Structure 1
Amino acid sequence: MPAIPERHRALVALAGGTGLRWGECVGLRWESIDTAAGTIRVERVAVEVNGHVTPKPYPKSRAGRRVVPLPSMVRHLLEQYRELYGTGQAGEVFINEAGTPLRRTLFRSRIWRPSLVRAGLLGCVTEDGDKFRGSWPTPAGDESELFPTRAQAVKAVSRRADGGLRFHDLRHSYASWLVTSGVPVPDYSG
């Protein structure tokens, strides 16, 4: 996970390790996490409309209210996160630098897609003399451009590249992991 900024590793680990949706992760409050039992109660979500994140007191469906196991690695990252970044005003787990809930649109453009580029999962950035070449796929074929810094190349590739993994794909990976481990996945609705 080194490609993901430290502040957001617990969020990505939570989604990948529990199969929670974006809104369930961002709507999660500390009162819903039982570290002793190693469980999370999914009982609310957060939705973003016109750039504003608001909590809803229920998940996507009735079956969405559930208790999910919390892997020890994720529990450890959550405990570190709380110690380093605190708690939101309403007890939210994941907050931005201003102490408010994370916005999906900004997370995707500023954190998620650049992390994919740094991890080599979306386009690529290579040294080219004293500059950095960013290369990315488009519907018309691959494109590339030189940039003065690695950070500028990563930013450009993350904005211009087509495709790439979505945050929601962590949920699908979790379901696949359960199936291959022989764990029944009763009501899995993407």
Structure 2
Amino acid sequence: MIKIRWHGRGGQGVVTASRLVAEAALREGKNAQAFPAFGAERKGAPIKAFTKISDKPILSRSQIYDPDIVIVLDPTLLKVENISEGLKKDGVIIVNIDKNPEQLKSELKVNNKVGTLNATKIAIETLGVAITNTPLLGALAKTTGILGLDTIIDVTKERFRKDLAEKNINALKRAYEEVKVS
């Protein structure tokens, strides 16, 4: 089973991203779950979402404490949450941050595979708003290869109305090309 833990803030599309990945996994013939973890938080409050992907039925309904992949939509969370907590030794971290992966590895004191990209810049330039979820989907496809970019594009087309889908697909593709991995 592949377990993904998403870190973001309310309003950034964390829950939507988690669901899009699960939908893409289902389309590729896998089993998947996606669910958020938050209380009565408001826009801007830290939240988490979880995605599980497996070739076998997924029986566990618990949060993810030992992720294979951690994705951070808001770099300010690096200062307030231990995003690498429980991450497997061969796990992957993908962060929306304007730093190279080696620098971030050093700061986080990890030896994991790390992908970085300025998803905020991509989102503003392609979507007109700083909602970074779809750029990070492109980074996930490139960094991990767990899902095909075309499948993620297909579910994005269906999730958003035509004009917004086109902008999100452009953000996905740009992030896929711009993510730096080490």
Give the alignment's TM-score, normalised by structure 1. 0.23
Larger radius of gyration: 1
Under a length normalisation based on structure 2, what TM-score does the superposition of the two structures give? Answer: 0.24
